[in-house]
Structure formats: structure tokens, C-alpha cells
Amino acid sequence: MSQEISDEALCRRVAEGDEQAFDELVTRYQGRAYRIAWGILREAEDARDVAQDAFVRLYEAAGRFRGEARFSTWFYRIVVNLCLEHRRRGRWWRALVVRDVAERDGARLDRLPAPAPDPLDGASQAQLMTRVWAAVEGLSSRQRAALLLSVQEELSTSEIAAVLDCAEATVRVHLHRAVMALRRSMAETG
Amino acid sequence: MTADGPEHVELAFVPYLRGELPRDERDTVETHLAVCPPCRRGLAETRALLDAVRRAPAAPALDVGRFRAGLEARRRRHRPAWMRPVPALAAAGLVAALVLLALQPAPRDADDHLAAVQETVLGARLGLLEQYPVVERLDLLEDMEVIGALDGLAATGS
Ligand SMILES: [Zn+2]
């Protein structure tokens, strides 16, 4: 299938039951869907499941795509909603697992030699990244979704607002709170 | 809205760094930064953090073959919507949701609520409600209410 056909046109064909168009959209978006889901869920298996679910929903709901937003925005919204739903379902036991991992990592870091004076060496960098990610893990799902869509997927504030189904001002608040939480967390653990 | 008081510009850090602010807001931020060391430090921290998040380790590689096989299996389990009846419990949940929504004072984000209902209808048609209890679908609606309220706060706060 030609690369010239827009995502939006493909989606309209999917609505008519065109399997080839669906296949092409999966090819175009499977990597992104999985990456976004992994960013929010941080579990490869879960991210794969949710991404697959998102495509099932895409197929069933293609007729509801009216072309008012870009296809990518519409589809990311499906992915993110499924992720948020997934986290809500998995909340209580997941919290235990995350704490367990954090404790293990903390214990491992304690056994490492004191950081070398050069702050740019590999070990210190890795340690810093571990702390940043621990802080990101502590964000609410929506804050993390907004942050990752902004920073990693490079969506604009208005696109994120469309994906998260909220006002742009809310996206700014999510991003602001996410950054404040990260700064606080880094200052505390530093 | 935040503890940093009206004169600081922390809320604008991310859009400022992303180059999304209109000219006048950008000027306001820069004028403030010139005279506020805490905000300058805050901006530097924010820039470093966003950069760290950007350079974060990538997701484990996706096995595309396995992904496609799993997707096909999933699609076989989901028969077309018109071939399956909407479960009675789901229908009851949907009616409850519609009643709740009808009782709301006219919200500015009526479309958002409509979208939420559409999601629920979609969920019912897809048979998602067989996997997820109705309560959780209503939880989703409730969450959207909270976010809707947050929109209101943000709008009045800025
Ligand atoms: Zn300031």
C-alpha cells in the first residue's frame, strides 16, 4: 500500500472494512503505540497488550473518526485512555511491585562505591537517570502521560489536550506539577 | 493555584522551553527571569530534567511478529459489535451514567461528557464490559468529571 495515502484516508477505509488499510495503519503505528504505552505503564508485556487492544478498538471505532482531529491524535487518545484504565485496574498490587523494585534498586545503589568527583562519568550519569526515572514513576498517570507525550513524542500542548481530552490550561497544569514533583523528588534524594 | 505566588513564572517553564508561548507571554517570562534568581535556577533545573526524560532509556524492543500474532488472536476474540448483544448489566450502567450526566448543570465541556458517553457506548459494543466491570467504566466517567473540574480551576486560576 502506498505511503502517499494519509492516515486519515486509511482510517476511513478501515471504517469500510478494508483489511489492507488496517494492516497499513498497524504497520505505521505499532511502534508508537507500544512506546507510548510502555512510557506510561513501564511494563513491556502490559504495553504490548494495551497497544494490541488499541488497534482492536481502532478497527471497531474507525467509523467514528470524523477527521476533525488528526488521526494520530485520535489514536493516541485511544492508547492513553486504555493505559489509564489499565493502571486503574492494576493499582493496588502494582504499587507493591513498584515499591519492591525501588527498594531493590535502592539497596543496590547503596552498595555502589561513592560517586566519583566528575559528575559526568558514566556511573554517576546512570545513577542520576535511575533517580529521574524513579521520580517519573512516582507521577500520576496523567502527569506522566502529559510529560512523555510532550518530551518524548514531541506533541504540542494543544495536541496533548486533545489526547488527554482536557483543556490546554489543564495540560499546562499537569506538566507544571509533573516538573515540580520531579524537582522536589530530585532535591530530596540528592 | 500554586505556592509560588502570582509574580513567579514557573507555570510557564515548560511551554517557554518548548517555544510555545506567544510573544507577549515570552517577554513577560524573560523580564521576570532577568530579576528573579530562583526562577532562573528553576528554569535550569526544568530544562535539565526534561532533557533527562528525553534521553530516557527506550522501551524494550517490540517483537513485531509476536505483536501481529497477538493482535490477530485478539481480533478473533472480538466479534463484530452488531453480532453481540449489549450485556444487560452494561446497559444498566450506561443508563445510570446518562442519568448522572443529565443531572449535571450545563458544563462548558459538554462535548467532553458526550465523548465519555460515546466511549462507554463503544466499550459496551466492543464487549469490553465483559472484561472490565461496569463500576470501572463509571470510574472512568467519574475521573473525567474530576478532570473537567480541574479544567474549570485552571481557567479561573490563569
Ligand atoms: Zn520568580
Supply the pLDDT for residue A92: 52
Nearest chain A residue to B18 by CA distance is A156
Q: Can you give the pLDDT at residue B93?
A: 63
For residues A167 and B148, give the distance between their C-alpha atoms in angstroms, rounded to a whole number.
8
Q: Under a CB-based contact definition with an 8 Å cutoff, are residues B4 and A177 in contact?
A: no
- What is the per-residue pLDDT for B110? 47
As for how many domains chain B has, the answer is 2
Q: Do both B50 and B95 map to the same domain?
A: no
Q: Tell me the per-residue pLDDT of A51-108, one tens digit each, with 9 for 90 and over.
A: 999 999 999 999 999 888 899 999 999 999 999 888 777 655 555 554 444 444 444 4
Residue B29: what pLDDT? 95
Containing structural domain, residue B17: 10-55
In A, which residues are within 8 Å of B109 by CB distance?
Answer: 167
The reported pLDDT for the residue numbered B59 is: 83
**CA–CA distance, B115 with B99 (Å, rounded to integer):** 15
CB contact (8 A) between residue A150 and residue B18: yes
The string of pLDDT tens digits covering residues B22-61 is 999 999 999 999 999 999 999 999 999 999 888 877 788 9
Looking at the predicted structure, is the pLDDT value of residue B140 above 60?
no
Domain-embedded: residue B1: no
Residue B40 lies in a domain: yes
Query: Mean pLDDT across the stretch B113-128?
Result: 47
SS3 state of residue A125:
helix
A contacts of B20 (beta carbons < 8 Å): 156-157
Q: What is the Rg, in whole angstroms, of the alpha carbon atoms belonging to chain A?
A: 19
Among the partner residues A61, A151, A157, nearest to B15 by beta-carbon distance:
A157
Residue with cell 458544563: B107
Question: Is B29 part of a structural domain of the chain?
Answer: yes
Between chain A and chain B, the number of residue pairs with CB atoms below 8 A apart is 143
Does the pLDDT of residue A152 top 50, yes or no?
A: yes
Ligand 1 centroid to residue A153 C-alpha, Å: 29
- Do B89 and B153 lie in a common domain? yes
How confident is the model at residue A117, as a pLDDT? 40
Alpha carbon of B119: minimum distance to chain A alpha carbons (Å): 10
Cell of B155: 481557567
Q: Which pLDDT band holds residue A134 (cuts at 50, 70, 90)? A: confident
The verdict on a CB contact (< 8 Å) between A57 and B122 is yes
Q: How far apart are CA B136 and CA A87, in angstroms?
A: 11
Distance CA(A133)–CA(A127), nearest Å, equals 10
* Predicted structure pTM score: 0.64
Share of chain A above pLDDT 90, in %: 57
The answer for B 79-108 residues in CB contact with A (under 8 A) is: 80-81
Q: How many other CB atoms sit within 10 Å of the CB of residue A52?
A: 25
Q: Is residue B108 part of a domain?
A: yes
Of A34, A157, A176, the CB nearest to B62: A34
Whether residue A34 and residue B18 make contact (CB cut-off 8 A), yes or no, is no
Confidence of residue B7 (pLDDT cuts 50, 70, 90): confident
Assess if residue B78 is contained within a domain.
no
Q: Does B15 touch chain A (CB under 8 A)?
A: yes
Judge whether residue B87 has pLDDT over 70. Answer: no
CB-CB under 8 Å, B58 with A85: no
- Whether the predicted pLDDT of B107 surpasses 60: no
Q: Is residue B33 part of a domain?
A: yes
Residues B98 and B138 in one domain: yes
Domains of chain A with CATH codes: 1-102 (1.10.1740.10), 112-190 (1.10.10.10)
Rounding to the nearest 10 degrees, give the CA dihedral for residues A19, A20, A22, A23: 120
- The alpha helices in B56-133, defined as continuous H runs, are 64-77, 88-103, 110-126, 128-131
ipTM: 0.74
Residue A128: its chain B contacts at CB < 8 A?
52
User: Helices marked H in chain A — which ranges?
Assistant: 7-15, 19-41, 44-61, 71-89, 91-111, 122-137, 141-151, 157-164, 168-189
Handedness of CA A50, A56, A59, A64 (dihedral sign): negative
**Minimum distance, in Å, between the CA of residue A135 and any CA atom of chain B:** 10
- Nearest residue of B to residue A146, measured between CA atoms: B14
Q: Which residue has the cell 507525550?
A: A149
What is d(CA B62, CA B8) in angstroms, rounded to the nearest whole number? Answer: 43
pLDDT value for A131: 86
Residue B70 near chain A (CB below 8 Å): yes
Interacting residues of A45 by C-beta distance below 8 A, sequence separation 6+: none
Element housing A96 (H / E): helix A91-111
The answer to the question of residue B28 being in a domain is yes
C-alpha cell at B152: 474549570
Nearest-CA residue of chain A relative to B112? A165
Percent of chain B exceeding pLDDT 70 equals 46
B61 assigned to some structural domain: no
Q: Mean pLDDT, chain B, as a whole number?
A: 67
- pLDDT of res. A128: 82
- Answer yes or no: do B41 and B103 share one domain: no
